């Protein structure tokens, strides 16, 4: 037992998770246009394997060389928009989002000091902006999605003969929508946007 105690005393506890968590980071970019603050969004390239054509904030997976989630978010913003890092001013962190689909999303608010964008053709199909005052005036449409458990093929039911299995919905989570001129802003992007707007208003 002494050896076990010594081993445990020098071990940092980890989180055991049932999902393969994806660590990602995004920026919520503010740009000034005609003296008015806008929020910048990207439309993902239709050639991408995941979420082609969907609306997102500049961002992506955290890489091993990224020291922090903030570093990852700013690097991705620079790469996707084709702008130098020096033109991206960090305003501060937003709340970290842990989604039911296994994504841990680090988000930061930034101000872009350039409008000279050269977006990555591989990742970005389009860039558009929405006046911040219009977003602040919006109430998002809210829907809910259920998360349920379901045994997969090969599940050893024979080991549970005396156990009455009741597979059913375990939880639900909100999905927000901010429709703007034919652009449906929704999903994780809308969750991050709502968090930003709530903080901006002082609700959080």
Q: What is the chain's pLDDT, residue by residue, as a tens digit (204 residues)?
A: 778 888 888 888 776 666 678 889 999 999 999 999 999 999 977 566 666 668 999 998 898 888 999 999 999 999 999 999 999 999 999 999 888 777 889 999 999 999 999 988 877 889 999 999 999 999 999 999 888 777 888 888 888 877 776 666 677 889 999 999 999 999 999 999 999 999 999 875
Domain boundaries, the chain: 19-201
The fold for domain 19-201 equals Nucleoside Triphosphate Pyrophosphohydrolase (3.90.79)
Is-contact 61 23, C-beta < 8 A? yes
DSSP reduced 3-state for 105: strand
pTM of the predicted model as reported, rounded to 2 decimal places: 0.85
Q: CA angle 10-20-109, nearest 5°?
A: 90
């Amino acid at each position: 037992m002494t050896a076990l105690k010594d081993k445990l005393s020098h071990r940092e506890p980890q989180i055991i998770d049932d999902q393969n968590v994806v660590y990602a980071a995004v920026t919520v970019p503010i740009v000034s246009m005609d003296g008015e603050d806008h929020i910048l969004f990207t439309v993902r390239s239709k050639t991408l394997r995941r979420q082609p054509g969907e609306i997102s904030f500049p961002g992506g997976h955290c890489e091993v060389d990224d020291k922090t989630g903030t570093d990852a978010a700013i690097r991705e913003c620079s790469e996707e928009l084709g702008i130098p890092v020096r033109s991206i001013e960090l305003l501060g962190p937003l709340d970290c989002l842990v989604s039911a689909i296994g994504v841990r999303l680090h988000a930061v608010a930034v101000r872009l000091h350039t409008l000279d964008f050269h977006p990555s053709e591989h990742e970005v199909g389009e860039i558009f902006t929405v006046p911040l005052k219009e977003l602040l005036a919006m109430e998002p449409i809210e829907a809910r999605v259920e998360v349920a458990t379901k045994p997969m093929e090969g599940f050893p039911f024979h080991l549970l003969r005396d156990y009455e299995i009741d597979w059913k919905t375990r939880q639900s989570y909100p999905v927000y929508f901010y429709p703007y001129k034919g652009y449906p802003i929704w999903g994780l992007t809308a969750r991050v946007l709502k968090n930003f707007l709530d903080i901006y208003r002082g609700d959080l």
